[in-house]
């Protein structure tokens, strides 16, 4: 018997338990473990001996999960467990039990049984399949099927528990609450058949001033095969409406294949680059948006096809025609002709590839179970002249690689490496910036705003543009500083670097900007969750583009980290 427990159990609640080993082969015969922290977790692994193969093999696993009463954060094999309302304070639990909302002895138990075990069989599991694959007809199996295949008897206790759980789900309207919470975590508020996009309600920037409106899309209550989406907003400073409208049809549910078409009339930041299949990190407040002042107008008609080849690989193809109108005095000289307004006809392929993540694939959706690294986001687009009225020929390529190291003490180190490359007749509107996030104001406190995730906090807006660039962001977050059970500020160190260049800067008229050929560097410090989700961010510019005075190089902002 070998007993194990966390080395620093006062800091992080981890698994502790006993391994039972065969004394001759040292194979595991049984394992039991428990975790007592924010939740109460008990795990039992049983193994069976196969004499013909002379080995022990897992036979079944039982997991019991009960509500916790607060306490230490928990970490299991490098991954943290977040259980939301499963963790209850003792006083709250007592109130809930008295009110009859939940039975005091109700807990979650999961049992897995391995059967029909075969050894040394030449089978290769599908390389790109989901870790758990729920068949299309799984919910339609008869009672006789489950009786024949059930490995654990369905007892009277199970039947009574099932009825109790069903009653709690109905009385607590749990299914609706799950749908609402899931929608809000993705930035949406469901209202009947329509999901409102939270980011469309309110924004502010230097060009539009206050931007108010509404938008979103239909959900499954409207139709599972047809979706409508759109938005309408109004900028009070420029006194203009912007809008978008579109529709899509489902071609194949299992692979989430949709054909969409939409029309937009709006503004976009000069030099911005958005991945079609970017990972959905919803933000209530978009850090950079407030201070952007360099926009262009566009009217775009777009047709797109999304398709998931495997649970690990998602793709999107788009054909887009955009009529571009300048808001400022910018002009682009190409073939001795000055363009201020022009048309871009573009075809784009985007993908999101997560080879080391594991997924649960059901007839309804593809859900990530465990986020593995690295993960890749890429995009290739080609603009054509003389096709659909296009004025320029150029090609753009983007690739972003994300990697994260998670540790048992809940600290982590994040790496984001991104490269962008464009060649051909590229106007500034479709070139790249490095996500600057420093307002063009002289005093430090006048530049006080919201810090971003992978933005350069000391780089001024419109200071640099590139037609090719490579950026590296490194962020190390220390383990939470536990002051009380609920107050745990987080300290993070950051370092960012980007290098790039721009051919033929002289072709871009009525604007002055620098290239990044010498490399731009900044270092930073964040203290997060000081008050609610708010914290502070400090950054300093150093290296080739270091400026003469301290206040020009220094950035002081606040951060906002919220979990929904």
Q: Which helix (H) or strand (E) holds 159?
A: helix 156-171
DSSP 479: P
Per-position pLDDT tens, the chain of length 564 = 999 988 776 666 677 899 999 999 999 999 999 887 667 889 999 999 999 999 999 999 999 988 765 555 554 444 444 444 444 444 444 444 444 444 456 678 889 999 889 898 887 777 667 888 888 788 888 888 888 888 888 888 888 888 888 888 888 788 777 777 777 777 788 888 999 998 899 988 889 999 999 999 998 889 989 999 999 999 999 999 999 999 999 999 888 899 999 999 999 999 999 999 876 555 556 778 888 889 999 999 999 999 999 989 999 999 999 999 999 899 999 999 999 999 999 999 999 999 999 888 887 778 888 889 999 999 999 999 989 899 999 999 999 999 999 987 789 999 999 999 999 999 999 999 999 999 988 899 888 888 888 899 999 999 999 999 999 999 999 988 888 877 889 999 999 999 999 998 999 999 999 999 999 999 999 999 998 889 999 999 999 999 999 999 999 999 887 655
pTM: 0.85
Given phi > 0 = left and psi -120 to 50 = alpha, else beta, which region is 26?
Answer: left
Partner residues linked to 562 by β-bridges = none
**Cβ 271 vs Cβ 90: under 8 Å:** no
CATH class of 253-560: mainly beta
Six token digits for residue 267? 């503004």
Count CB atoms within 10 A of the CB of residue 149.
9
SS (H, E, C) 54-94: CEEEEEEEEEEEEECCCCCCEEECCEECCCHHHCCCHHHHH
Q: Where are the domains of the chain?
A: 2-123, 253-560
């Amino acid at each position: 018997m070998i007993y194990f427990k966390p080395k620093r159990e006062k800091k992080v609640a981890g698994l502790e338990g006993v391994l039972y080993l065969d004394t001759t082969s040292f194979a595991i015969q049984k394992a039991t473990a428990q975790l007592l922290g924010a939740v109460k977790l008990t795990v039992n692994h049983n193994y069976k001996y196969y004499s013909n193969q002379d080995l022990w093999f897992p036979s079944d696993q039982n997991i019991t999960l009960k509500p916790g009463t607060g306490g230490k954060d928990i970490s299991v094999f490098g991954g943290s467990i977040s259980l939301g309302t499963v963790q209850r304070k003792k006083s709250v639990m007592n109130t809930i039990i008295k009110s009859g909302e939940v039975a005091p002895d109700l807990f979650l138990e999961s049992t897995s049984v391995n059967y029909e075990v075969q050894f040394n069989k030449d089978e290769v599991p599908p390389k790109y399949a989901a870790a758990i694959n729920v068949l299309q007809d799984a919910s339609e199996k008869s009672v006789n099927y489950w009786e024949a295949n059930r490995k654990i008897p369905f007892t009277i206790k199970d039947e009574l528990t099932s009825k109790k759980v069903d009653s709690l789900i109905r009385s607590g309207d749990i299914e609706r609450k799950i749908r609402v919470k899931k929608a809000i975590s993705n930035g949406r508020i469901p209202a009947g058949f329509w999901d409102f996009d939270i980011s469309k309600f309110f924004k502010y920037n230097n060009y539009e001033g206050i931007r108010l409106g509404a938008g979103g899309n239909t959900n499954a209550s409207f139709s599972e095969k047809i979706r409508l989406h759109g938005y309408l907003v109004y900028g009070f400073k420029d006194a203009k409406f912007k809008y978008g409208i579109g529709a899509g049809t489902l071609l194949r549910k299992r692979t989430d294949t949709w054909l969409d078409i939409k029309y937009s009339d709006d503004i976009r930041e000069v030099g911005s680059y958005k991945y079609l299949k970017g990972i959905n990190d919803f933000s209530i407040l978009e850090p950079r948006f407030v201070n952007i002042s360099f926009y262009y107008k566009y009217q775009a008609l777009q047709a797109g096809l999304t398709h998931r080849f495997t649970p690990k690989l998602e793709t999107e193809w788009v054909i887009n025609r955009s009529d571009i109108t300048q808001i400022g005095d910018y002009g682009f000289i190409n073939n001795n002709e000055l363009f201020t307004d022009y048309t871009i006809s573009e075809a784009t392929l985007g993908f999101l590839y997560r080879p080391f993540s594991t997924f649960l694939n059901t007839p309804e959706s593809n859900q990530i179970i465990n986020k593995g690294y690295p993960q890749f986001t890429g995009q290739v687009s080609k603009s054509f002249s003389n096709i659909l009225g296009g004025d320029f020929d150029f090609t753009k390529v983007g690739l972003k690689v994300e990697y994260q190291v998670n540790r048992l003490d809940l600290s982590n180190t994040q790496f984001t490496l991104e490269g962008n490359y464009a060649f051909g007749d590229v106007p500034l509107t479709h070139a790249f910036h490095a996500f600057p996030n420093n307002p063009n104001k002289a005093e430090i406190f006048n530049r006080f705003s919201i810090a971003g995730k992978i933005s350069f906090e000391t780089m001024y807006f419109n200071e640099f543009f590139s037609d090719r660039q490579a950026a590296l962001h490194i962020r190390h977050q220390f383990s939470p500083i536990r002051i009380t059970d609920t107050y745990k500020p987080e300290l993070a160190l950051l370092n960012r670097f980007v290098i790039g260049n721009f051919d033929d800067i002289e072709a871009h008229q009525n604007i002055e900007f620098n290239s990044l050929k010498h490399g731009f560097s900044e270092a930073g410090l964040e203290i997060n969750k000081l008050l609610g989700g708010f914290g502070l961010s400090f950054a300093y510019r150093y290296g080739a583009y270091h400026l003469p005075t301290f206040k020009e190089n220094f950035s002081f902002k606040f951060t906002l980290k919220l979990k929904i």
